[in-house]
Structure 1
């Protein structure tokens, strides 16, 4: 018995299944030539929506192959319990044929023209593989044999369902040996077309071709345009922005050779690329990070900006530091001991990562070079960054070479003394006259050194230069003053005495200021006071000796010995400075930094 409903342009006759407890609401699909019709109905007792598949064997055009398919589907569905497979609810017979009742899912098949984004296609692929994995893990396994867009339903929330188990086979024996090839051309693997033995990898071919149809917006009836005469897919027809990882995965899914495909759905699911079908394109602000600390234990922070140039995708990834033999093992949570990332894991298309370097665990005065690795879902997958960290200088300053400074002081003293001796009065030199001139010169030098000390003090120099020059001048005056009381001033005239005393005061003032300035420069460079004073005084005395010998034309073994001894003293102090610094650094490394991380 049938009831009639009026459509917009034609009458559709719907069967009356009320005696079986169902109210037919609409026709979902039909193959009237084969005697198969699918209805949407309501269970009268529970008001649950169901699907009723009817095989009308009374029709002349009906084939018993289709009747066998419905019976096969009932047999398979009875024992299946999976959220991605609509449940079998029962069957009944009426005057027109046999009917199977199945759970209704509010979803459209992929055969209906729809557009899915890259992430949606990936979700569909995963859901289908999970359903296939469930079927293949059955004992014995189930092979669907008709995996195509029309048999995959997808809801608005991307819920995926596999339907139509009429061609399914239970068991993995000689499943392909049959007098009739069952399946849909374009989605059947070559081994199924040629009626050869099928395996769990056979259904993967249909899924792969389904995904290719979605990717290329190819209608189901034109799927043949995606393959060549040898059943190989022309992947050049895929969109140019499809990830190469996905291309490789799809090639393995639809390989014509059964042995080249994934062995089963679980293996294909494990190998599915982690990222979407389209990959982000990553642009970084820099790949070379050069940092320098100014003080010990300083925490240095720099930033790297990551931009995704493909708007339809989402950049994801994480940072880590490539293992270095000198670094200790990672601490709790897999974090590096002295390099941190904020954020370490990121998800976004415009990300700024703060990279924090803790130098408290690093040796001072060293340069640390490490590789920072960025793993992302972008095309290249893994990016490498060069990090160079220069730690704070050692607490022992490198004073550098003092030779240029000493050479300048030596030349200044030499020339000054030589010029002053050239201006000395020309008189007859006798032992008494010589002694008188020397004492007057020394007394004047003492006074000149005190004047130089006063000038240095007024210049507000912070070095010990002014105090040192003052002490030397005062000592010299104190030593010579008593001797000057016994001078026989009658041996020389007053003009000669005045000139001699003035030259001593003026020369020592000049030499004292130059020596004091040199001591100050050494002190600013980090030399110890005793080193600065010793080098400056020895150099001044050497210049004084050379100037006197040149200006007065003096030559004696004792003068030569004095000059050589002076040079040896200067050389010894110059060699002592770097040796002292090297020993201090070695002791510091051994006692303080022995437990720190090496470069």
Structure 2
């Protein structure tokens, strides 16, 4: 497709704005309403098209301010076109490249926003597991609000499944269970979140760091012991020892946020096991 082409009789292609393995995303204008939309063009002859169409089936049932809406669906003999909200802004990977390491207080705010959308996704019936949380899939809009995009790897959680049948994720961010060591569930997204926060905090891609070196890298970059402990508890190899759910993670981030403003409290690191204990000295991880 090229600039000026018409999709679905009413969308004029303006430019290409993204490229994936099996699809291309274009910026388009609705010629009737004169508003802008993102259009994902999927090659219908590609065997992977069925996985790309899963994005439509998932997004059409979601309604959250951090998620794009599906507005229309068009097709021709070569492509299927998904028309969705155009979210103007920069990806976190672009911001990291331009600005360098992100300061901790800003990361805490971003982490809280991401927990909010994960709480929403994981509360669906069945829960929606995103499986590819990373800086390039998160857009910071002009209002300062984050937006999660690209649901091509998301899937509904199936309780009876013993392991993932298709290994999907991005090296460095993906949890061990995404590569045959079990099945993805809500804790998989939390592992992805932890590695995303690590990358933004240190400027180092998690694929370039040995897992047992994560704490040292965070310390060298001046990350507080509290925030470092939270990240470590998100990225434990054993899902049963990670922070157990996004709501608990949000609670911990809220306490971190308050401690940044008041400068009090302490954290003792350890295997989290998904349990939360709050005391007058701060957050204490349970042993699991």
Q: What range describes the TM-score normalised by the shorter chain of this pair? A: 0.7 to 0.9
Q: Which runs of 4+ in 1 moved over 3 A?
A: 174-179, 376-380
CA-CA distance at 1:90 after TM superposition: 1.7
SS in structure 2 of the partner of residue 316 of structure 1? helix
In structure 1, how many angstroms separate the alpha carbons of the residues matched to 2:152 and 2:30? Answer: 23
1:245-324 to 2 correspondence within 5 Å? 245-272=226-253, 274-276=255-257, 316-317=261-262
2:51 paired with 1:69:
yes
In structure 1, how many angstroms separate the alpha carbons of the residues matched to 2:207 and 2:4? Answer: 38
What is residue 25 of structure 1 aligned with on the other side? 14
Specify the structure having the higher radius of gyration (Cα). 1
What is residue 274 of structure 2 aligned with on the other side? none
User: Is the contact between residue 38 and residue 53 of structure 1 (CA under 8 Å) also seen in structure 2?
Assistant: yes
What is residue 208 of structure 2 aligned with on the other side? 225
Which structure has the higher relative contact order (CA within 8 Å, separation 6+)? 2
Change (3 A) 1:269 1:379: closer
SS in structure 2 of the partner of residue 274 of structure 1? helix
User: Is the contact between residue 35 and residue 57 of structure 1 (CA under 8 Å) also seen in structure 2?
Assistant: no
Structure 2 residue aligned with 1:146, among 114, 128, 132? 132
2:72 paired with 1:90:
yes
Cα deviation 1:92-132 (Å, max 9, x = unaligned): 10233111011011122122124333222111100000000
1:445-594 to 2 correspondence within 5 Å? none
CA-CA distance at 1:68 after TM superposition: 1.6
1:95-110 to 2 correspondence within 5 Å? 95-110=77-92
User: Is the contact between residue 111 and residue 197 of structure 2 (CA under 8 Å) also seen in structure 1?
Assistant: yes
User: Is the contact between residue 77 and residue 87 of structure 1 (CA under 8 Å) also seen in structure 2?
Assistant: yes
In structure 1, how many angstroms separate the alpha carbons of the residues matched to 2:38 and 2:84? Answer: 5
What is residue 32 of structure 2 aligned with on the other side? 45
Cα deviation 1:122-168 (Å, max 9, x = unaligned): 11100000000000111111101111111111124421011111111
CA-CA distance at 1:85 after TM superposition: 0.3
User: Is the contact between residue 17 and residue 24 of structure 1 (CA under 8 Å) also seen in structure 2?
Assistant: yes
Structure (1 or 2) with the greater helix fraction:
1
In structure 1, how many angstroms separate the alpha carbons of the residues matched to 2:22 and 2:256? Answer: 45
CA-CA distance at 1:269 after TM superposition: 1.0
Change (3 A) 1:163 1:176: farther
What is residue 171 of structure 2 aligned with on the other side? 185
Change (3 A) 1:168 1:18: closer
In structure 1, how many angstroms separate the alpha carbons of the residues matched to 2:261 and 2:216? Answer: 27
In structure 2, how many angstroms separate the alpha carbons of the residues matched to 1:136 and 1:188? Answer: 18
2:111 paired with 1:125:
yes
In structure 2, how many angstroms separate the alpha carbons of the residues matched to 1:198 and 1:18? Answer: 36
The RMSD of aligned alpha carbons is 2.5
Cα deviation 1:261-296 (Å, max 9, x = unaligned): 11111111112253459x8xxxxxxxxxxxxxxxxx
The unaligned stretches of length 5 or more in structure 2 are: 268-279, 282-288
Structure 2 residue aligned with 1:234, among 205, 214, 219? 214
What is residue 276 of structure 2 aligned with on the other side? none
1:344-363 to 2 correspondence within 5 Å? none
SS in structure 2 of the partner of residue 236 of structure 1? helix
The TM-score normalised by the length of structure 1 is 0.42
2:155 paired with 1:173:
no
Change (3 A) 1:57 1:225: same
The aligned length equals 265
SS in structure 2 of the partner of residue 134 of structure 1? helix
What is residue 161 of structure 1 aligned with on the other side? 147
The unaligned stretches of length 5 or more in structure 1 are: 3-12, 280-314, 318-375, 384-599
What is residue 365 of structure 1 aligned with on the other side? none
What is residue 458 of structure 1 aligned with on the other side? none
CA-CA distance at 1:249 after TM superposition: 0.8
In structure 1, how many angstroms separate the alpha carbons of the residues matched to 2:41 and 2:7? Answer: 15
In structure 2, how many angstroms separate the alpha carbons of the residues matched to 1:249 and 1:163? Answer: 25
User: Is the contact between residue 4 and residue 14 of structure 2 (CA under 8 Å) also seen in structure 1?
Assistant: no
What is residue 548 of structure 1 aligned with on the other side? none
CA-CA distance at 1:240 after TM superposition: 4.7
